[in-house]
Amino acid sequence: MSVNTDGISRLCLGTAQLGLDYGVANASGRPDTMACDKVLERAIERGVLYWDTARAYGNAEERIGRFLGQHPRRDDVRLISKLPAPEQPVSVAGLSDWVAGQIDASRKDLRCDQLDTWMLHDAAMISRYGDAIWDAMLTQVERGATRSIGVSVYDVSDLSFSDPSSNQLTIQLPFNLFDRRFRDSGFVNATPHRSPRVFARSALLQGALTMSPDQLPASIAPLREPLQRLHRLLSDFGCSVLDVALPYVMSHSFVNFAVVGVDNLKQLEDNLEYATRRLDPELIETLDHSFQNLPAEIIDPRKW
C-alpha cells in the first residue's frame, strides 16, 4: 500500500455513536462526556472538519453544540444535519413552518447560526410532498440557515428526482466492499450537469465487516459466507478488512467525503491512519470483481 496524502481532508466525522448506542459491533455504547470531547477535539486537531449529525441521533447535536460553544476553532467546523421524517402527519400547507422549526431546533442545539448542509433524512419525503419539500428547504438557504441542502438515500431508486436547485446538491449514500449499488448504477456519470457532492457512509457496514464471521448475531447470519470469502481473499494479499475497507471507499473519485463514525478516540486514530493508505490497483480490481449483487438482507442494515 502507498500513501494517500489527501485522505484525512476527505474524512467526515459521523456522530450517530455520540448520541445513540449505534452499530451492530458496538459493545461499549455511547461514550461519556469526557470521551466524546476527546474525539471531537482530536478531529479538529487532525483536520477532520466536516461533522455529520442528525435530529434522530439522540443527543448528538446537543453534545456537539456544547463542545463547540466556546471553542476557538468552532468556525472551522462544517456541520451537516438532517431533517427527520415527521412523527405526526404534516400537511403541505403547514410544511414550510414545520421545516423551519426543525432546522431552528438543530441550530439551537448545535449553537450555530448556519449549517453547512441540511439533508432530508428520509428520501420518501420527496414522493410524499414533491416540490413542496424542496421549496421549504430552499427557503432555509435563502434565509441563511444553511449553505446548501441534500438528501440521504438508501436505494438507487431514491435518486429518481429532479435537482431542486441550481446549487450543488449533496447526496449521502451507503458504499462499502459489499454494497456497490450506487457506483454500479452509474448515477454520477448519468447526471454530470448536477455534479452532486457525495458523502459515502457505512464503509464498515455499521461495524459488521469488523466482526468475526463466527461471531455474527443470528439477525445477520446471511453475512457469514461472504464475510468468510472476504477474509480468505484478503489473506492472500496479507491484509485485513480494516486495512482495506476505508481505503477502498476513498479510492473512488465520485466519493468526495467518507463518513466514519467512531465510539472512542482509538477508533478515530485508526481511521485517520487507514485514510492515508492507498490500495494496490491489483487488490482494487480483485475486490471489484468480487461480491457482486449481494442480496438486500446482507447489505441493507434496515433489513437486519
Tens of pLDDT along 264-304? 999 999 999 999 999 999 999 999 999 988 998 889 988 88
DSSP annotation of 292: T
DSSP annotation of 289: T
2-212+245-279: what fold? Answer: TIM Barrel (3.20.20)
pTM comes to 0.93
Instruction: Name the grid cell of 57.
Output: 441521533
Cβ-proximal residues to 109 (8 Å cutoff; 6+ apart), any chain? 61, 62, 64, 65
- List the chain pLDDT tens, one digit each, 304 residues: 655 657 799 999 999 999 998 666 566 778 999 999 999 999 999 999 999 999 999 999 999 999 999 899 999 999 999 999 999 999 999 999 999 999 999 999 999 999 999 999 999 999 999 999 999 999 999 999 999 999 999 999 888 776 666 456 899 999 999 999 999 988 766 654 456 899 999 999 989 999 999 989 898 999 999 999 999 999 999 999 999 999 999 999 999 999 999 989 999 999 999 999 999 999 999 999 999 889 988 899 888 8
**pLDDT value at residue 297:** 86
- What is the secondary structure of 50-111 as a DSSP string? EEE--TTSTTHHHHHHHHHTT-TTGGG-EEEEEEPPPSS---HHHHHHHHHHHHHHHHHHHT
* Rg for the chain, CA atoms, rounded: 19
- Distances 208 to 8, 48, 216, 250 between C-alpha atoms, Å: 23, 24, 8, 19
